Amino acid sequence: MTAAARPAAAPSADVPPADALPIRRVHLSAAGVSLVIDASGDRMPAIVHWGRELGTLTAQDAATLTEIAGPAITHNTIDVPLRVGILPQLADGWVGTPGISGARADGSAFSPLLTVRDLRVESSVGADGEADAAGSAADEPAAAADGTRTAAAEGFCETGAARVEIDLADESVGIAVRLDVEMLASGLVRVRAALTDTTEAATPGTDAARAPYVLEALTPMLPIPLDATELLDFGGRWTRERTPQRSPLVTGTHLRENRRGRTGPDAAHVLHAGTAGFGFRHGEIWAVHTAFSGDHRHLAERSSRGVQLLGGGELLLPGEGRLEPGGAYETPWLYGAHASDGLDGIARRFHTHLRSRPQHVDAQRPVTLNVWEAVYFDHDLERLKDLADRAAALGVERFVLDDGWFGSRRDDTSGLGDWVVSDEVWPDGLTPLIEHVTGLGMQFGLWFEPEMVNEDSDVARAHPEWIMAPSPDRLPEESRSQQVLNLAIPEAFEHVHSQMRAILAENDIAYIKWDHNRDLIEAATRATGAAATHAQTLALYRLLDALKEEFPDLEIESCSSGGARVDLGVLERTDRVWVSDCIDPLERQLMNRWTAQLIPLELMGTHIASGASHTTGCLHSLSFRAASALFGHLGIEWDLAHASAQEMDELRAWIALYKAQRELLLTGEYVRADRGEDSLWVYGVVSPERDRALYELAAVGRADVAPIGSVRLPGLDPARRYRVRPLVVGEAPAGLYWPAWAREGASTATDRIHPGISADPLVEAVELPGSLLVEAGVAAPIMYPESAVLLEVTAV
């Protein structure tokens, strides 16, 4: 196996032991978060504080912190204070989940004792997360101009956002590890590890000095205090991704393993541990996310010794971690987030980080029409041109042609893997449609499913050995009539790459919807039967990277049976995710609410559905469908030829509102209100300057009490005054009854005219102090279930 990045440095005889290193403790801090690393002694480096910012520390402070963080020695335990490192070791007395699980093929080297050989602080971290070299701890460090404080004689370094690189080794078993621990400007912490087999290849004709090393798991861990007593992560299924689930954090291991070969609709997403009853706006929380798009794991562990950890990494299938002499394996990044102000604080750290990347999308996200639910596989040029005309008249800015344009793909049973335009359906190629779309001022997008193959396809008939399978004579069970193409085989990779490159080079295509419609079951190289999910995931990344390099303006959406591949690994290479194949607005209220726990709204595809939901059969008003799609990257998934003139007018109004609010929606801070009554969800976006905000009040069920009471508007500046305006787009939702503050000339008599109908026009605005809006709130309107209204807030 080869690593995805540089391997750990091999140990050197002239590298000093840890106690001789100029830097043995490091204090990193950014955005209100501190992380203190202790690498003293001959033991695995440990994080002795991760949480609220500690302020300026001295070298003695850091040393004392290490001492007071160590537990007492109790009866029937090891005779030294338990030290749980970033990769917890059995050799240090840890009997929980090990940071390194593996051994040589003969069973030896199952319990390495890794010690520090070098430590480097990279004090200048670029926007892309790559650090500029600042020298080794083995060299005498100089004073830094960027605020880094280093006391060489006392072995202490204090700095802001920076990366710490630590080399460790156990020469007796031939293993070296490099740890990267990074504090980002957002206050996020991220950790990764690379393990190298430092043995040399045997000389031909002689016996190898050691058996190959077989790594089973490499799992970085972050410590959390015993104050965290409650867990929140996610389950779900196709069309209901990211369903929250809570549980107590008890002694033992809470383990979430994903073996789907993709992130999965039931992925943990973000694993949170927090103080009891934490909510959107309150509670101290620690959280982790494994940034990987294949098999992966998250875990929370509580030891009877009073230690609690959060961790995660790639889940390696049998044999995937086998290292040849000199070979290396590197984990994906494990991201850690801490916040003292609830779940919104955790989300804010992830959003801030993603928005700081140089490749991040801008706020002018084009309104998109995807034609799947309009035409499915029925590709008719005139019908599609008519649909494009209708879309352009509404203000749509991007037109996406979905599945069915290539090879023999007239339904979902054939053609996958043959990425050539169908002569049968498109005798003149895609050019007539593309020119029509771009002539209307819209971008053109196209659907691909590059990792998949139908057995009924030219490529599968020509190269059956490219299909992932456990043996040459047996295929996995089909799913959606398809199998998986092994992109780790160079010829298969080049087949897909060259065909996609040709389509993109020959046509004016601005956008790809990149789908992935099945789990990887028995995903192996067919010729050998060896597990290949790890290699397939890295090949996916290489393909995305290659296309991005060749077509730098191309935008790519990660779609995987809807929202089954939402993670920070794929989002390093793509520009948005499809939240779910279900765009029923009630279901999307839930999924959008929790997808945003990790990613900001501009990366979330949220489309206005047709009246009858494609996946649930439920009927909803246009106002609820549009309001549910507004907070995200807006699009439409609807056969506009079947929309009435009134619906087209209302749809046009919603698109105009989105464009007017787009800058706010896609650059502001996402906020959610805590409410004991969960039938009314209150959420919104507040501008960075806190001078504007847009809130949605969504009735997702029937209230236990009527009227519903007041709603607080989180995120505003308590010291400012604001104008609050009720906002109705198009036809008001049925059953909507605004309270007196929102109506012009409201009176007791008017209140009784007709329940559910407001006889008075809405007020232009009411002016209130921010402290009142944040702490007391305003009376909420009464609505039928599955309705929503908006409040626009502007600073005076």
Domains of the chain: 18-355 (2.70.98.60), 368-663 (3.20.20.70), 670-795 (2.60.40.1180)
Counting residues of the chain whose pLDDT is more than 70, the rounded percentage is: 90
pLDDT digits (tens, 9 = 90+) for 60-88: 999 999 988 877 777 788 778 788 999 99
Please check whether residue 268 is in contact with residue 233, taking contact to mean a CB–CB distance below 8 angstroms: yes
Burial (CB count within 10 angstroms: exposed 0-12, middle 13-18, buried 19+), residue 43: buried
Amino acid making up residue 788: A
Beta bridge partners of 369: 399, 636
Give the per-residue pLDDT at 575. Answer: 98
Cα–Cα separations (whole angstroms), residue 463 to 171, 452, 468, 526, 698: 45, 13, 11, 11, 52
pLDDT digits (tens, 9 = 90+) for 610-644: 999 999 999 999 999 999 999 999 999 999 999 99
Highest mean pLDDT: which range of 63-77, 147-161, 696-710, 767-781: 767-781
Structure letter (DSSP) for residue 524: B
Its pTM stands at: 0.94
Cα–Cα separations (whole angstroms), residue 595 to 355, 364, 599, 630: 16, 21, 7, 15
pLDDT digits (tens, 9 = 90+) for 215-244: 999 999 999 999 999 999 999 999 999 999
For 218, the token pair is 């490499």
Counting residues of the chain whose pLDDT is more than 90, the rounded percentage is: 83
Q: How confident is the model at residue 666 (pLDDT cuts 50, 70, 90)?
A: very high
Q: How confident is the model at residue 678 (pLDDT cuts 50, 70, 90)?
A: confident
What is the pLDDT averaged over residues 32-47? 93
Distance CA 532, CA 261 (A): 10
Closest CA to 350 of 144, 533, 566: 566
Structure letter (DSSP) for residue 186: T
Which residue in this structure is represented by tokens 């996406």? 400
Closest CA to 671 of 755, 503, 525, 793: 793
Does 92 score more than 60 pLDDT? yes
pLDDT digits (tens, 9 = 90+) for 690-747: 999 999 999 999 877 666 789 999 999 999 999 999 998 988 888 899 999 999 865 4
145-158 exposure pattern, b = at least 16 Cβ within 10 A, e = fewer: eeebebbbebbbbb
Cα–Cα separations (whole angstroms), residue 559 to 380, 517, 548, 625: 24, 9, 17, 21
Give the per-residue pLDDT at 753. Answer: 36
User: Positive or negative CA dihedral for 498, 399, 591, 483?
Assistant: negative
Distance CA 39, CA 359 (A): 35
Does 754 score more than 90 pLDDT? no
Which residues belong to the active site? 515, 581
What is the pLDDT averaged over residues 284-298? 98
Please check whether residue 34 is in contact with residue 53, taking contact to mean a CB–CB distance below 8 angstroms: yes
Please check whether residue 230 is in contact with residue 276, taking contact to mean a CB–CB distance below 8 angstroms: yes
How many Cβ atoms from other residues are within 10 Å of residue 136's Cβ? 17
Does 17 score more than 70 pLDDT? no
For 163, the token pair is 């990366």
Distance CA 418, CA 260 (A): 24
Give the per-residue pLDDT at 142. Answer: 38
Structure letter (DSSP) for residue 20: G
Work out the mean pLDDT of the chain and round it to a whole number. 91
Does 11 score more than 90 pLDDT? no
